[in-house]
Amino acid sequence: MYKEGRGVEQNYAMVAEWFRKAAEHVPDLGGAGQGRNELGLLYVDGLGVPNDYVQACMWFTLANVKANCACVQDQMTPAQISKARRMVEEWKKLHPTPEIPYF
């Protein structure tokens, strides 16, 4: 609603807050991947968050959206790409994915 300004005033800071909540949900039950991708897009455009390709790359990688990741990496230095990869590994350590039992 905040992204489109439907029923509320458009507010990208709130958009980023809600996408971050979805992005950080572990395990991914369907919305975390979308939240991660959308948060990455906000970082690419600097909407509600600072323009930051390293953060964008991290979130795209976590979302497993290879096309977006490749696109943003074209704008990054090798050092920035390495930093994004380290951030992905750090994030995964802090957010281990629990096994979901199957019935």
Identify whether 28 is part of a domain: yes
Position 31 scores a pLDDT of 86
Q: Which domain holds residue 24?
A: 12-94
Q: How confident is the model at residue 4 (pLDDT cuts 50, 70, 90)?
A: confident
pLDDT at 103: 61
Q: Please check whether residue 100 lies inside any domain of the structure.
A: no
Number of domains forming the structure of the chain: 1
Residues 6+ apart with CB under 8 A from 12: 2, 3, 42, 47, 48, 49
